[in-house]
A and B are shown apart, each in its own frame.
Chain A
């Protein structure tokens, strides 16, 4: 009896152990499967990312060339996986890079969109900052770029993304706040920024070029923007850089929509002095065209604002670009209080100049809604900040994605979306 019971007992336990052992082995196998699955997925994602980085690098190396890199990669072996990259141009200047990384039986895809970068997106851009440091109490608004180091001391606050070429140069103890992010190693040239504008004022382009002619090749333009969407302008021309008592033409008032249908007004081999209230979208540029630094300047002698302030009316379409091959200058006027300027300002070889800032009896504010792109960062007041102007800039957030017509491109591309 005991013998038979023992046999049943052994068989019973053997069966139980067999079932449980099989289950334990199964769960162990599944555990390895999960580990393997996670590993292959991670590897595939990393291979895809590698392909995306390689493709971006290859494209960026040729981004300024006539023929940009579009070959992609086909079945490139990498780290046990395979990279396949395709480059397409869907239009609107957009470049799309699709990287597929395969590892074992798993594949992962990364899709990147790039587009030409525009100087108007910057709240502040300086090729050279010299020994100017951003210090405690300084707050910049919008994206900011330095083609040098980012000089900081104390605790300045950068509300927008900061890019620079050579990293942070901290003087003393510094804890800058980069609230929009920070990226080093970015080089953006400010040269040849008027190329875009020249093409916008060519035959049948819809833009307008104001210039001298014949024996008087140089021009001086005076332009007032009117709130009703018109512009009033007059000009004088000269054989030299001195206009002296050259006669002015009779002022002409015309709708902006017919004067410059594509929104570009180019003053060639001359200067322009402007002010007023803009109702529309205009880029006003002055180029020296090889005539030296006496030309290619934009002068401001009063407020230049939008008819519809985008801070009050979010759907405002008024937008201004001021482009100078040399300087953008606020002319001296002892009766000035605060000065308001709205627009994207670009001074290719110079900067923002406050004429005779030390001669002002007190300190005022130069209030800029938009951005300033300049070669140099200039002083706007005396060292004691008692004469001249405080530079008070607020970013126009529309400039993240909308630009004044034909505003100069940086010549580089920027990543606008990265989908993985």
Chain B
């Protein structure tokens, strides 16, 4: 083997090494993207189920199979704050009036993962234990509007919740683990966002 042959082998190893590095990097990127998209899809699936639950609950506030149970809007909303909301209605249409509360936990409750802002979303029905209905909520926000479309200051006193004409609900959820921060400066968490601009229960206008 002469010098030229050795040079060829070294050159081939160098080029092969670069090619290998590129492949590893592509592989890593594919794995990250795969994880990101999988998490993103899982978040979207969870958000879809959550949104259907919240929409059903809120549209049934003030609903009762028994006429006259709800006298007006304020008897159907007992707590209206920025991220806590308690409503009354027969949400499962079984003839029994339910009290449903949505609230979020503290950011330090989710110990796994690196996301500092994610938290549990709770749904409590009647006197039962609050159930976690979503993991990784970063924004859970209610904005309340009166009949003129003006924002109402929160928290709204229980005696004044009858002034609520419509509700804006915003939910953002993120993955607990970062997927892109090693390679880019953009959002490092899988992210999904939903907002209902003016949600109103028809039952609040009854009678």
**What string of 1s and 0s marks CB contacts (under 8 Å) between B167-207 and chain A?**
00000000000000000000000000000000001111111
Over the window 147-191 of chain A, the binary record of Cβ atoms lying under 8 Å from chain B Cβ atoms (1 yes, 0 no) is 000000000000111000000000000000111111100000000
Does B6 interact with chain A (Cβ within 8 Å)? no
Asked whether A417 and B41 contact (CB < 8 A) given A16-B27, A183-B205, the answer is no
Which chain B residues lie closer than 8 Å to A177 at the CB level? 160, 163
A397 at the interface (CB under 8 A from B): yes
User: How far is it, in angstroms, between the C-alpha of A38 and the C-alpha of B71 when the chains are bound?
Assistant: 33
Please name all residues of chain B whose beta carbon is closer than 8 Å to the beta carbon of A30 when the two chains form the complex.
41, 44-45
Question: Does B206 lie within 8 Å of A34, measured CB to CB?
Answer: no
Q: Check A13 against B23 for contact (C-beta < 8 Å).
A: yes
Q: Does B73 count as interface, using CB distance less than 8 angstroms?
A: yes
Contact B33 A24 (CB under 8 A): yes
Asked if A192 CB lies within 8 Å of chain B CBs, one says no
User: By the criterion CB–CB under 8 Å, are A415 and B159 in contact?
Assistant: no
**Residue B162 interfacial (CB < 8 Å):** yes
Task: Find B67's partner among A6, A38, A115, A419 (CB 8 Å cutoff).
Answer: A115
Q: Which residue of A lies closest to B13 (CB)?
A: A2
A37 contacts the other chain (CB 8 A): yes
Q: Is B64 an interface residue when CB atoms closer than 8 A count as contact? A: yes
Interface check A359, CB cutoff 8 A: no
A 1-57 contacts with B by CB, 8 A: 2, 6, 9, 13, 16-17, 20-21, 23-24, 27-28, 30-31, 34-35, 37-38, 41
Number of residues of chain B lying within 8 A (CB) of chain A:
47
CB < 8 Å: which of B23, B65, B162 contacts A180?
B162
A142 and B161 alpha carbons, distance in the complex (Å): 15
The answer to whether B205 touches A181 (Cβ under 8 A) is yes
B60 at the interface (CB under 8 A from A): yes
What residues of B have a CB within 8 angstroms of the CB of A207 in the complex? Answer: none
Q: Is the CB of A419 within 8 A of B93?
A: yes
Question: Which of B44, B59, B65, B71 has the most chain A CB within a 10 Å cutoff?
Answer: B71
* B37 lies within 8 A of A401 (CB): no
B38 CB to closest chain A CB (Å) equals 6
Decide yes or no whether A414 CB sits under 8 A from chain B.
yes
The answer to whether B63 touches A419 (Cβ under 8 A) is yes
Q: Which chain B residues border A9 with CB–CB below 8 Å?
A: 20, 23
Shortest A416–chain B CB gap in Å is 4
Judged by DSSP, the binding face of B is helix
User: B55 to chain A: closest CB distance in Å?
Assistant: 8
Q: Report how far A21 CA is from B38 CA in the complex, Å.
A: 12
Check: B31 CB closer than 8 A to any chain A CB.
yes
Q: Quick check: is B34 within 8 A (CB to CB) of the other chain?
A: yes
Least Cβ–Cβ distance between A371 and chain B, in angstroms: 13
Interface-centre pick from B34, B59, B206 (highest chain A CB count, 10 A): B206
A228 within 8 Å of B (CB atoms): no
Bound-state Cα–Cα, A326 to B196, Å: 50
Given A180-B72, A180-B74: A401 and B147 interface contact (C-beta under 8 Å): no
Residues on B with C-beta less than 8 A from A31 are 37, 40-41, 44
Distance between B168 CB and nearest chain A CB, rounded to angstroms: 17
B67: A residues at CB distance < 8 A: 113, 115, 401, 416-417
Q: Which of B15-45 contact A (CB under 8 A)?
A: 16, 20, 23, 26-27, 30-31, 33-34, 37-38, 40-41, 44-45
Q: 18 extra interchain contacts, Cβ-Cβ under 8 A, other than A20-B33, A418-B203?
A: A2-B12, A9-B23, A13-B26, A27-B37, A28-B37, A143-B72, A159-B162, A160-B71, A161-B72, A161-B162, A180-B73, A181-B147, A181-B162, A181-B165, A397-B71, A401-B68, A417-B63, A420-B202
CB within 8 Å of A: which residues of B? Answer: 12, 16, 20, 23, 26-27, 30-31, 33-34, 37-38, 40-41, 44-45, 48, 51-52, 59-60, 63-65, 67-69, 71-74, 93, 146-147, 159-163, 165, 201-207
The 8 sampled A-B contact pairs (Cβ below 8 Å) are A2-B16, A16-B30, A31-B40, A160-B72, A179-B159, A415-B206, A416-B206, A420-B59
5 closest Cβ contacts across the A-B interface?
A401-B68, A180-B72, A418-B202, A179-B162, A27-B41
